[in-house]
Structure formats: structure tokens, C-alpha cells
Structure 1
Amino acid sequence: MARAATLVFLLLCILTIVGMAKTVATGQSSATNFIKSSCSATTYPALCVQSLSTYATTIRQSQHQLVQTALSVSLTSAQPTETFVSKLAKFKGLKKREYEATKDCLNQMGDCVDRLSKSIQELKHLGQAKGQDFSWRMSNAQTWVSASLTDVSTCLDGFAGEALNGKVKNSIKPRLVNVGQVISNALALINRFASKQ
């Protein structure tokens, strides 16, 4: 009798675990579909899905959490690029124009990181905001993210032209392009979120 009760108990435990796993998988699938659907409104949807899917359990199906995560991913992408540009600016073998472009880019990336940080802070307070306060905070976040995208674009422009072709430009450009694309996606998601409020 005790053996039968143990087997029944064991079977119930297994069924509970399987049920919980299915619930988690369904939630994960719904969140991933939500991310894919939201990312379809961005300029770089594949990158958007790739960069946000790992956070599906955090995002769930929350538009606010999606935007907050997209901004955090943007900041996480911009910070190492700023560090890379900073190290590059200290390199002794730079030509004068490369050095000037790199120093300007470092300033732009510093501004970019600062603006992304400010936009993340604004969105953290969005949950309690209502009416005019909500609109004001959302507008601030949109402005700062847009300005951070301009910072990256200005940095890229500094390396335009054949005179700057070479290892420095080749090492920095792919990083800047990636940061710009991630921020562009975040801006599209923020604008979409703002339009639905």
C-alpha cells in the first residue's frame, strides 16, 4: 500500500513539473511572439529580435518593459564602444586627422551614453506618471534617444572620406554601425509606445 501511495505521489510530482514546464514554455513563446511583432516596426527587425529575445521572460508582453529593455541593450552596446574609442584615442600611431576624428568621436560617444542613461531614468518613473507628467517624461526620453542616435551618426561622419581609410576607421566603423542600429530600433519602439498612450 505504501509503495502504491509513493508511486501515485511520484506521478503527481512529475505531472506538476511537466505542467509547469508547459506554462513556462507557453509564456516564453508568447513573449517571443510579442517581441517579434513589436520589432517588425523597427528599421532593423532581425537585430531587434536577436538583441531582445534573451530578455523575453523579463519583457513578457509589457510594452513599457520592452522599451526599457531596448534602452538598456542600447546602453550596454554604447558603453564598450565608448571605452574602445577612448583606448583608440590614446594610441600613439594615429595620424593627425585620425586623432582628431577619434577625439571628436569620444566626445560624441560620451554624450550618447549620458543621454541613453537619462532616458532610462525617465522611463523608470513612467509607471507612476499620469497625464502631462507622462507626456513630459516620454518626450524627454524620445528626445534623448534621438540625440544619442545623432551622436553616433556624427561620430561616423567624422570618419567619412578616403583620407581616413585604414585600420582605425575599419576597427571603429562596425562598432558604431551596430550601436546606431540598436539605438534606432530602441527609438522606433519608444515612438511606437508613445503613440499608443
Structure 2
Amino acid sequence: MSTASFTMFRLVFVCCFSILLLLMSTSMQTISAATTDKGCIITYKKFIKTACNSTTYPKICYKTLSPNAPAIRTDPYKLFNIALSVTLNATSKASSSIHSLLKMKGLSTSEKENIGDCAETTDDTIYDLQKSLKTLANLQGSDHKAEEMSDLNTWVSAALTYEYTCTDEFEGQKVREAVKNTINKSVLYLAKLTSNCLDLFQLLD
């Protein structure tokens, strides 16, 4: 092999070896980052699990909040914010379902009145949850934190009261079981979510 050929071979070898080292380094960094991310997610989910264990319905709490672990991390304010948002979203869907029941054919006067009242209280729940989220947004850094905390607790408590008011409407009333069961199943689930929100509220500073 001539000197020129050997020099060329050496340059190619060095170049290829450098590229190989770069690829290996990039791969190791990717693996390291993935491992770190996985470790963080585990930590975040443990935080959510611990927080949910303090609620009345821990299984529902963890099931609805753990998918949001990357956003929540270990921040109780973000945890509470997302718990409220999840509850508001579920309430909005339930409200649409309840309003659609009013369009059913063959409803008695009593059924229409009870469903209408339940639809109204569910709308009131949506309003209270929206107010809760707005109050929470103003809470951190507020000069009137104690007052804001009191308002926040009031709004969430009121939302829970409205939910139970809806189901109470059907007690002792002549309403077909299918209608009653549909509403009760939906609204009682909302009540569990809201109850958990009240429990998580206690974790705020």
C-alpha cells in the first residue's frame, strides 16, 4: 500500500470511527433521557397516588388524575386544578345527557319537571366549578389568600350540594326507572369527583 493510499485509509478510518462514537454517544444520551423521564413519571404518579389515598374515592381519583402525571408533577396546585378541570369536563358531558333526556317522547309532567330541575342544578354545578377554577388561578401570589381559599372551598362545596340536589329530586317521585338510573349513575359519579376535589383542597397551603 502506497503512502498516499495509507493516509487516505487512515483518514477514512478516523472519520468513520468518529461518526460511530458520535452515534453511540447520542444513543446513550437518548437512553439516559428516556430512563430519567420514566423515573420522573414514576415519582409523579407516586405523588398522585399518595394524594388520592387521602380522598373518599381513591381509585376514581387515581384513575382520572394519573394520566396527567407529566403536567401535575408534584405540585398540589396543579393537582387540584386538573381535578377540578376533569370534574368540570365530566359535568358538562352529564349536563348534555340530562338535557337530551328532556327530548324523550312520552315523558310525564312529573318526569319533565324533575329532569328539568336536575338539568338546572347541573348547570349550576358547572358555574360553580368554573368559578372555582378562576378563583384558583388567582390564588397563588394573592394578597387575600385566606379569603380566596374560603371562596374556593365555598364554590366546590356548592357544586357538590347541587349534585345531590339533583338526585334528591327523584326520591319518592313517579319517574320511570330507566330515566332515574341514567341520571343517578351520571350525577353520583360527578358527586364522587367533586367530593375528591374537596379532599384534595386540603392539600393546598
Q: From the superposition, tell whether residues 96 and 74 of structure 1 become closer, same or farther in structure 2 (CA, over 3 Å).
A: same
Q: TM-score, normalised by structure 2?
A: 0.90
Q: How does 1:105-184 map to 2 (within 5 A)?
A: 105-130=118-143, 133-161=144-172, 163-184=174-195
Q: TM-score, normalised by structure 1?
A: 0.94
Counterpart position of 1:64:
77
Counterpart position of 1:28:
41
CA distance in 2: counterparts of 1:188 and 1:88, whole angstroms: 32
Query: How far has the Cα of 1:162 moved from its partner?
Result: 6.6
Identity of aligned residues (%): 32
Residue 106 of structure 1 aligns with an amino acid whose one-letter code is A
More displaced 10-residue stretch of structure 1: 156-165 or 74-83: 156-165
CA distance in 1: counterparts of 2:53 and 2:21, whole angstroms: 48
Query: How far has the Cα of 1:136 moved from its partner?
Result: 1.0
CA distance in 1: counterparts of 2:84 and 2:95, whole angstroms: 16
Counterpart position of 2:107:
94
Aligned length: 192
The two structures, once aligned, show a CA RMSD in angstroms of 1.2
Structure 2: gaps (5+ residues)? 1-13
Residue 180 of structure 1 aligns with an amino acid whose one-letter code is A
Query: How far has the Cα of 1:191 moved from its partner?
Result: 2.5
CA distance in 2: counterparts of 1:152 and 1:191, whole angstroms: 21
For the residue of structure 2 that corresponds to 1:50, the secondary structure is helix
Counterpart position of 1:185:
196
Matched, 1:10 2:9: no
Structure 1: gaps (5+ residues)? none
Deviation per CA, 1:119-140: give whole Å up to 9, x if none. Answer: 000001112214xx11111111
